[in-house]
Structure 1
Amino acid sequence: MRDFLYSEIAALHGLPNIPDDPDLAIAAGARLCQDLLEPLQDAFGRLFIRSGLRSAEVNAMGAAKGYGCASNERSLAGHIWDKRDAAGQMGATAGIVVPSFADAFTAPDDWKRLAWWIHDHLPYSSVEFFPEQWAFNLQWHEKPLRMIYSHIPEARGYLTKPGMDGHDADHRDLWDGIAPHP
């Protein structure tokens, strides 16, 4: 939990990053870990947590200062683990890097290999990829959306979401052989 509570924004601005509802934060975070992060780590080895839980105060500061945080309304049941979204659902998001993958796969479209592996193996809600070390936000949610989005300049937009061609296909040929710990 220490890794999830650390926030550069909170440290920079002297804010506490403590959940208002610890029980909800723990419940949502436990599902994120059990359903997504632990299977990902089992397949690829140690994960690097870049960001996790943000208190509403920390997230609002990050949005106001232009640090790449979405509004609090959009972050509920996302980076704000301790508040349910407008539909009353819980969720949790972590920003992570998979070092074994980032070190081995550096071609411009290699992030798609990991994205399709996640899509075919994990019960994620949303994934957002970034260009630095193929970092991505991985969200668990009670009502998963099953969308993968790229912020990578050459590939900005949706890789997949329900209704897109290939969303429900077998993508094995795109990811086969990337997981060092099958």
Structure 2
Amino acid sequence: MADDGINTDGADEAGSATDTTQHGDATGELGEGGQKALVAERKARAAAEKSAAAAQKQLDDMAKRLQAFEDRDKSEAQKLAERAQTAEAEAAKASSQLLRYEVASAKKLPPGWAGRLQGSTKEELEADADALLKELGETRHRQSPSYDGGVRKPAPAPTDMNALIRQKAGLG
């Protein structure tokens, strides 16, 4: 197709509808043959866009099916790998917790304090338990209450009836 009199201002094909409204007189200058060619080109372009959209949709559907097919085969292997990884992590956690309780028991720490021990090896845990026992010992000595100067035994109760009546009456 010749471009004699066709819009050459650099506008792309997508803006051709606005070009015809802005340059309404330009379509009149094309002549009857040019207008027929322009209409035919627009129809062909619309058909090509529909065909491209359908092909893209078909391509997306095929990609989804391929991904589902690949995931089906991978999922079993991935599930097994995840289960193995979870089991290994739980075993390591249980082993670490057991080691903490063993050290706490050997050092005669209360069971609730076993989780506070820091370290990854038995030696590190034992050193931390010793430091914790030292801190607990110092804290216990500082915080023990003093009972010196307080009443040690209750006052004797009055034994005769006259003393009870005087006491209740506030006479002494």
Same fold (TM over 0.5): no
Between 1 and 2, higher relative CO (CA 8 Å, sep ≥ 6) is seen in: 1
The structure that is strand-richer by fraction is 1
Q: Which has the larger radius of gyration?
A: 2
